[in-house]
Structure 1
Amino acid sequence: MAQDEEDHLSITAKKCSVTSKRLPATYIDSYIKNPGVARTNVVDGDGSESSMKDFHEFTPMQQHILFWDRDRDGQIFPYDTYVGFRDLGFNMLFSFVAVLIINLNFSYPTRLAHSYLPDPRFRVYVDSIYKAKHGSDSGTFDPEGRFVPQSFEDMFSKYDRDHDGALTFGELFEMMHGNRCAADPFGWGAAFFEWVTTWLLIQKDGKIYKDDLQGVYDGSLFWKIKEARKSGAGWTQGFGLGGDGFIGSVKVA
């Protein structure tokens, strides 16, 4: 968008300095149609290698978790969560902690679409994962689990200080701080776990790149990582520290 056109958009306010520090993305309508409209696919069309074309009947938020629904029964058991994190290369301890955080906290919200009674098996229900959306997040998923391109691009417009299409660890923390809602400790904790896990999984040269992060949102990158770890090359990104670190072995047998 031309500068004179941008000047007509009221995106800063003199009496609120943070509006000048965190500028929303005002340029993306040149390559994304209706970027503010929430949609049911992260990647438009089936041509892209990263497209989740086999799962287009699901919302992006559902696509994000289908990797853990191993038997496609619409329910993610604690063991499914554990095995999924192990398949991604996380060690046993981290995978166990992930089970505690995910299944203990998100089982009941997703259960509410089926019953008011808690699930004794702590399953997470794929069809109602939108009920597990928490506060203090980026807003890239809307309350129904659709993907909002404007919010995704805003993350980089606001916090990618050197404009290289990637976020450093420090910029991620700045974003988490900027997204915090008042009196929302659960949302703060959930966001922290999600972004630290993402960092450990996909960082490259100390940064999280936009294309990789897009693949996290629709889950396509999880399948890519699993296949890479099964291959001879292995998965070369992430914070791999061998068996003693957060990420375990580089390959899957």
Structure 2
Amino acid sequence: MASSSPADPSMATEAPQVAVTRERKLNPNLQEELPKPYLARALVAVDPSHPKGTEGRDPRGMSVLQQHAAFFDRNGDGVIHPWETFKGLRAIGCSFPVSLFFAFFINLALSYPTQPGWLPSPLLSIHIKNIHKGKHGSDSETYDTEGRFVPSKFDAVFSKYGQTHPNALTQDELNLMLKANRNMYDFVGWVAASAEWKLLYNVAKDKDGLLQRETVRGVFDGSLFERLQHDKKSS
């Protein structure tokens, strides 16, 4: 078993003179719970409870980040227009004004980086095949720069910040994580990360005001969006 004690300094995750390493703990036993947690998964979002990813989900050859985005491609043509983003947000339970604002905000931010050429799109389209180019800084790094899912980074979200409940985040813990992940002078990343996580919290928190681990895992591969859409239709 991996140890973080001074007796085994090569495996230590805490530095005695750095208090924040004690406050934001890592899981030294993750490799025993999940094979090769350091290995970024291209097709599925895995954790110890879901070592094969979301049950019954077909990745269709898409990266985990592409699967996340594909929910908003309402006509399945590989391109997301602002009105499709709007429809997707409405489908998961966002209000009309929130959906309208985020449809513009998301497409404005991601359209140009994902274009196949140098010219911007007058319709603010997002191309899913290039969605990895829209990855911003100051995030949890659960997606790597190619859009793969990194299990160890996902686990760290909860081992570091889930202090009240080991598999959930309170609103205060979420805010602490957002502040801790900020990169210096990365104002765009600060805003984007805050908007994404706070929108997720507002639409997917449970009755106790907690953002559950499985809820967060589901947002990375897009399966949460499908569940929220189904629940909204059912109700």
- CA separation in 1, counterparts of 2:88 and 2:219? 14
Find the residue that maps to 2:58 and give its secondary structure.
helix
* Aligned mate of 1:106, from 106, 110, 114: 110
Deviates more, 1:25-34 or 1:13-22: 13-22
Q: CA deviation at 1:49?
A: 9.1
> Could you state the TM-score of these two structures normalised by the residue count of structure 1?
0.85
- Superposed displacement of residue 229, structure 1: 1.3
Q: Hey, what does 1:155 align to over in structure 2? A: 157
The residue that corresponds to 2:184 in the other structure is: 182
Find the residue that maps to 1:142 and give its secondary structure.
Answer: coil
8 Å contact from structure 1 (residues 168, 206) kept in 2: yes
SS in 1 for 2:211: strand
Given that 1:52 and 1:220 are in contact with CA atoms closer than 8 Å, whether structure 2 keeps it comes out as: no
Question: 2:22 & 2:224 partners in 1: Cα distance?
Answer: 34
For the Cα contact (< 8 Å) 1:51–1:220, is it kept in 2? no
Partner of 2:143: 141
Q: Hey, what's the Cα distance between the residues in 1 that align with 2:142 and 2:60?
A: 18
Query: Quick check: 1:89 aligned with 2:87?
Result: no
- Offset at 1:163? 3.8
Q: Unaligned stretches of 5+ in structure 1?
A: 235-253
User: Which residue does 1:72 correspond to in 2?
Assistant: 76
SS at match of 1:68: coil
Structure 2 residue identity aligned to 1:62:
Q
1:59 maps onto 2:67 in alignment: no
Q: Tell me the CA shift for residue 102 of structure 1.
A: 0.2
The residue identity in structure 1 corresponding to 2:225 is F
3-state SS of 1:140 partner = coil
Cα shift readout 1:23-60 (whole Å, capped 9, x = no counterpart): 2221211121000110121148x997933632241011
d(CA) in 2 for partners of 1:135 and 1:169? Answer: 21
Equivalent residue number for residue 231 of structure 2: 228
User: What letter matches 1:103 in structure 2?
Assistant: N
Q: Is the 8 A contact 2:139 2:193 kept in 1?
A: yes
Tell me which amino acid in the other structure corresponds to 2:76: R
Q: Residue 60 of structure 1 contacts residue 146 of structure 1 at CA under 8 Å; is this kept in 2?
A: yes
Structure 2 distance, partners of 1:187, 1:14, is 31
AA in 2 matched with 1:212: T
Matched, 1:6 2:8: no
> How many residues in Structure 1 have an aligned counterpart in Structure 2?
227
CA contact (8 A) 2:45 2:54 kept: no
Measured against aligned partners, the alpha-carbon deviations of 1:95-128 in whole angstroms (never above 9, x if no partner) come to 01101210011101111xx101111110011011
CA–CA distance in structure 1, aligned partners of residues 130 and 53 of structure 2? 27
Name the structure 1 match of 2:218.
Answer: 215
Instruction: Check the 8 A contact 1:52/1:218 in 2, yes or no.
Output: no
Counterpart contact for 2:107–2:124, Cα < 8 Å: yes
* Further displaced range: 157-166 or 214-223: 157-166
**What's the offset of the Cα at 1:207?**
0.4
1:60–1:145: 8 Å Cα contact kept in structure 2? yes
Say which is worse superposed, 50-59 or 71-80, in terms of deviation: 50-59
| TM-score, structure 2 as length reference | 0.91
1:32 corresponds to which residue? 34
Q: Distance in 1 between matches of 2:174 and 2:122?
A: 35
Identity of aligned residues (%): 37
The partner residue of 2:131 within 122, 129, 132 is 129
Q: 1:117 to 1:33 in 2, by over 3 A?
A: same
Letter of the 1:135 partner, please give it. Answer: G
Conserved 8 A contact 2:34-2:51: no
Q: Which runs of 4+ in 1 moved over 3 A?
A: 46-52
